[in-house]
Amino acid sequence: MNISDVRIRKTFSTGNLKAIVSITIDNCLAVHDIKIVQGNDRIFAAMPSRKDENGVFRDIVHPIDAETRAEFDRIILSAYDRHVALEKIYNDMNAED
């Protein structure tokens, strides 16, 4: 399995929600609405979820094992870090004008 594309759909400058991300796996399966969240201890990728009848959020799709979860986080968060760095460069360049 290969995450062939990561798209940062939207970023947020305030609050714990930092971004909404979509990924493509093996150029044939898309997963939308992955959230980049700043937790108490770390930033992480939260898989798409929905609220069940008891008000508990349940993942709709998620990695099965810790190794795959870590790989998803590494790839998604690396793409997010690159996006934030490029956004900062762009904003700094425009602030000089």
Which residue segments constitute the domains of the chain, with CATH numbers given?
3-95 (3.30.1120.40)
Residue 97: its pLDDT value, please? 60
The model's pTM: 0.87
pLDDT tens string 56-91: 999 999 999 999 999 999 999 999 999 999 988 888
Place of tokens 């609050």: 15
Q: Beta strand pairing status for 17-25 and 29-38?
A: antiparallel
Q: Residues 5, 79: contact at Cβ < 8 Å? A: no
